[in-house]
Structure 1
């Protein structure tokens, strides 16, 4: 049975807001569904995300998003009338939750562990269908330049408040009411509330946007249209969306390249919106093998991904709305290897934007990343040394094909020691050797030497995945040695790998963050618009 070590009560008691409200009657199936909430502990709030079912017997699981814990089985789940109880396995004894239904969608009560006790609150989420969710998506403005984006996310709807830089997942309380919490992954305590207002045709035209205790009315505004697209790269079919600005054409354009993992166009949308609202067309796609695109992303080389991006460039050049001499490529993290490669493969690429871009081979990067991310999360030197030693062992197995059984044993030991989540543990020997033969040895420096178009490079001061003390320094050295005058390098203070305002830059704090660093979106967009203007002037001179 899994035990939760992080849920240990420190004896702090804080009353829930509605603890003294008269309980409401609840049907026998009222507990079924998804609930979010939390309890006070040691001067903080432990956020909970629970799922309950009553058939064939009451049961449930619990996620603790701040700590990356998910699927924790609950014990002794029960509901009798307006009362409910459940237990969470804990290292120092189970946590016993005893609550009452205040309303059919709200439970408050007490949580106990030994002599420690506190109060908790749970809020029931509504199930909203995909078509209904699609009706709330869009851009809303409450004053010139003050824009709210509501969009599909990788797993659930998200919002971005571009005035404050705050962003996060949205949790549905009903068809037209959504809440968000203080961080990107939590909905509790409720810090943001969105109420959708529909017109006579049932289309959302206004969002009553409540934040920091104040409410504004944001009206839907069509800054750009979204056009479904599909094009091919060899036997791979790429599906995506073209965001076309409402301003007069032709528009400069960007093909956005994904980072690592199975990422669809929805993962790129918050980063594309600011470009599109300011006159830059953006092509966002489902990475090969995800969403509606075919192929396999896990068996794609950097050359494959660069060719996918160039297929997008060719598609954009076929559109009359696009300024053909002002099409660029944009890549973040892994995309920072791919975007410059695409640019040197084709004269059709006019500029490059890379963010958190590695300037070493993936093999070197992975070994360094393990050390820097673990150090940022506060791991001790001995544990870090074990993880780095595992990386050397992993690479040796990848190179020789020998020692897979010993590597599996090391992974089991790493799971117990706490360093396994940092090392990108391979799923199979075949997968490991494929990456050794096709990915690990890629060297970006020869590509950077060939690059002959303007490039913007962004780093975050606290990035522990691509630490700027190493990668930015290497990029600056490469630029000096190659005499590149068209490269702009910028570092954002207090920014992590994804350009969120951070404290440590470690992976453990990411779920607790909720704001992009100030100026991040504007720097990117202003630089691209300047390149587009220069391209337009150059084109006019050629015509004259």
Structure 2
């Protein structure tokens, strides 16, 4: 039997093997390069210190992010989270801001919500007043540190923190400034706005909108008379993620309204940050309330037409693959143009305001 066909077959196999190996090597080099980019892009010019805050009978698991150089004392930004089970770094989301603030000499302090990332307690057991007292305790702890400037401590808060920031300022008359990012004003009106905005976004029919509003009215009636979770489930059917713990949290907090507390921020520089694609918060109502209750020159308002509620770029947040790749390879680019630099300028100029 002739061996020529076998030689041709063997040659083809070697070529295939060489091609596969070359491809694998190329992919490995690309992966290594991308890995290097990911590591580089997720490295920040910061010194992060894991801290345990014990004050006022509370134990908080936090992170103190300091500028890369210097011993201080540094002015401090205290982070107040929005809704949900948020850890101290917000899954890394805060780090680009910490780095940006550090570039103008500011440290940042944040802590995991109770029950998150091993922290004691349960954030769903908290009221907005509880959260304000918790922050006041953390600030008192920070003032004892030699690397913190006790007279230059301010607040940064997002979304649900709109109900917490005024309470902190009311309890601590030494708060130096506040940055309010997409803050809510009234729990009930914010909830209605959010519901309708999501229905419009999803193309709901008139009948679907009407049904959702009827369901909402039933929920409000249950909250007003203090109904338990079992009655809630009987009344609305599918709880749609409203667990018993979440129902208790909502029952404790649904009357929250920032208008009575906002005057506590008068007389200090306040940066109000609003997004053009916010389906969670009625930014027009928020801006109106802040302008009415916090008159110039201390209030400054920054609009980001291309931003979502989280101040991410709209075209990035609405594309899951692009969002993942940007978070991995260019996390500083997640945010709307100007968001990081505008906050940095605000902090650099705090001492010159009004």
For the aligned pair, the TM-score class normalised by the smaller chain equals 0.7 to 0.9
Contact 1:236–1:288 under 8 Å retained in 2: no
- Aligned match for 1:470, one of 280, 285, 289: 285
Q: Which has the higher contact order (CA 8 A, sep 6+)?
A: 2
In structure 2, C-alpha distance between the alignment counterparts of 1:329 and 1:311, rounded to whole Å = 13
- Aligned match for 2:314, one of 491, 502, 509: 502
Deviations 1:427-455 (A, max 9, x none): 13x7525532x211122111112323221
Contact 2:76–2:153 under 8 Å retained in 1: yes
In structure 2, C-alpha distance between the alignment counterparts of 1:511 and 1:340, rounded to whole Å = 38
Residue of structure 1 equivalent to 2:80: 257
State the secondary structure of the residue aligned to 2:62. Answer: strand
- Aligned match for 1:276, one of 102, 110, 127: 102
Residue of structure 1 equivalent to 2:171: 345
Contact 1:335–1:357 under 8 Å retained in 2: yes
Residue of structure 1 equivalent to 2:46: 224
Q: 1:208 to 1:353 in 2, by over 3 A?
A: closer
Residue of structure 2 equivalent to 1:410: 236
State the secondary structure of the residue aligned to 2:83. Answer: coil
Q: What is the CA distance between 1:220 and its match in structure 2?
A: 10
Q: What is the CA distance between 1:520 and its match in structure 2?
A: 0.4
In structure 1, C-alpha distance between the alignment counterparts of 2:286 and 2:58, rounded to whole Å = 33
Of Structure 1 and Structure 2, the greater helix share is in: 2
Q: What is the CA distance between 1:332 and its match in structure 2?
A: 0.5
Contact 1:269–1:284 under 8 Å retained in 2: no
Q: What is the CA distance between 1:306 and its match in structure 2?
A: 1.0
In structure 2, C-alpha distance between the alignment counterparts of 1:295 and 1:377, rounded to whole Å = 36
Residue of structure 2 equivalent to 1:375: 200
1:87-102 matches, cutoff 5 A: none
Residue of structure 2 equivalent to 1:48: none
1:396 correspondence with 2:221: yes
Q: What is the CA distance between 1:325 and its match in structure 2?
A: 1.4
- Aligned positions, number: 320
1:304 correspondence with 2:130: yes
In structure 1, C-alpha distance between the alignment counterparts of 2:259 and 2:232, rounded to whole Å = 34
Contact 1:230–1:238 under 8 Å retained in 2: yes
State the secondary structure of the residue aligned to 1:323. Answer: strand
Deviations 1:179-216 (A, max 9, x none): xxxxxxxxxxxxxx6333xxxxxxxxxx588xxxxxxx
Q: What is the CA distance between 1:485 and its match in structure 2?
A: 3.0
- Aligned match for 1:195, one of 27, 30, 35: 35
- After the TM superposition, which of the residue ranges 374-383 and 253-262 deviates more from structure 2? 374-383
Of Structure 1 and Structure 2, the greater strand share is in: 1
State the secondary structure of the residue aligned to 1:373. Answer: helix
Gaps of 5+ in 1: 1-21, 25-101, 107-122, 124-172, 179-192, 197-206, 210-217, 415-419, 539-544
Deviations 1:249-284 (A, max 9, x none): 221111111111111013133432321243210012
Residue of structure 1 equivalent to 2:144: 318
Contact 1:230–1:239 under 8 Å retained in 2: yes
Residue of structure 2 equivalent to 1:451: 265
Residue of structure 2 equivalent to 1:237: 59
Residue of structure 2 equivalent to 1:110: none
Contact 2:222–2:232 under 8 Å retained in 1: no
Q: What is the CA distance between 1:486 and its match in structure 2?
A: 0.8
Q: 1:474 to 1:509 in 2, by over 3 A?
A: farther
State the secondary structure of the residue aligned to 1:266. Answer: coil
1:520 correspondence with 2:344: no
